[in-house]
Amino acid sequence: MRLYEQIEFYENRLQNIPRSKRYIIYLASIILLGLLFYTYVLGPQFDHIQDLQARLQQLQNKVAKTSPKHYESIIMKKKQELANLRAKLDELKQKEYALLQKLQMQKYLFLNQQNFAKLLEDILADSKKRGVVLSLIQINEMDKKFLGRLKEQKSLKIQGQGAFLQSVRFLRDIEKHPMLLRVDNLHFETNGTVPRLSFWLKLYGVEK
């Protein structure tokens, strides 16, 4: 039987079927054709599109990893890590310096001969730096209670002459010394030329 004859045969058969059933057959045929079209035509096309999209994403990721922006991001990250390490290093250095300062202060709490000799050297160096000519350094041994375990152990009478501002700077240099000390009975005199200064330097130490 020819194709045309087959189509005509099925059409005649459909005409003999009740209308309600005929519509059901038409609807089922349309759905079947849609499924066949999706399975054999649209489905492979969708799969091909998804495959192309996946390949494109892979290429984009590869390009991103080799692009200058990617390397700039890595460099910026490393720079930030380096900055953080430097900040931590600075913090450790500050803590170390503070600890050394405390240890230094603890060292000078005891007035021994070594600390006292260092103080005299610093006084002479400071006077030379400030242009103050010292004429007297009189050392007096003391053993006088001051406060708690602190005792006044030595007192120095110091006299000299120099410009007023330089003499003031000289006194400030002495007061910056880490040893426990105090400037007392300070006097300035002048006869119209170079001022003269005179003061007592009280030295304290912890009673052992």
pLDDT at 103: 44
Task: Give the type of residue at 174.
Answer: I
Tokens found for residue 133: 């000519």
Q: Give the model confidence (pLDDT) of 101-138 as tens digits.
A: 544 555 556 667 888 888 899 999 999 999 999 999 99
Q: What is the rounded average pLDDT of the residues 160-175?
A: 92
SS3 1: coil
Q: What is the rounded average pLDDT of the residues 167-192?
A: 88
Order across the sheet with 181-189: list the strands: 133-147, 150-161, 196-206, 181-189
pLDDT at 102: 47
* pLDDT confidence band for 13 (50 / 70 / 90): low
Q: Give yes or no for a contact between 127 and 170, defined as CB atoms under 8 angstroms apart.
A: yes
Is the pLDDT reported for residue 187 higher than 70? yes
Q: What is the rounded average pLDDT of the residues 148-156?
A: 83
The percent of residues in the chain predicted with pLDDT above 90, rounded, is 25
pTM, 2 dp: 0.48
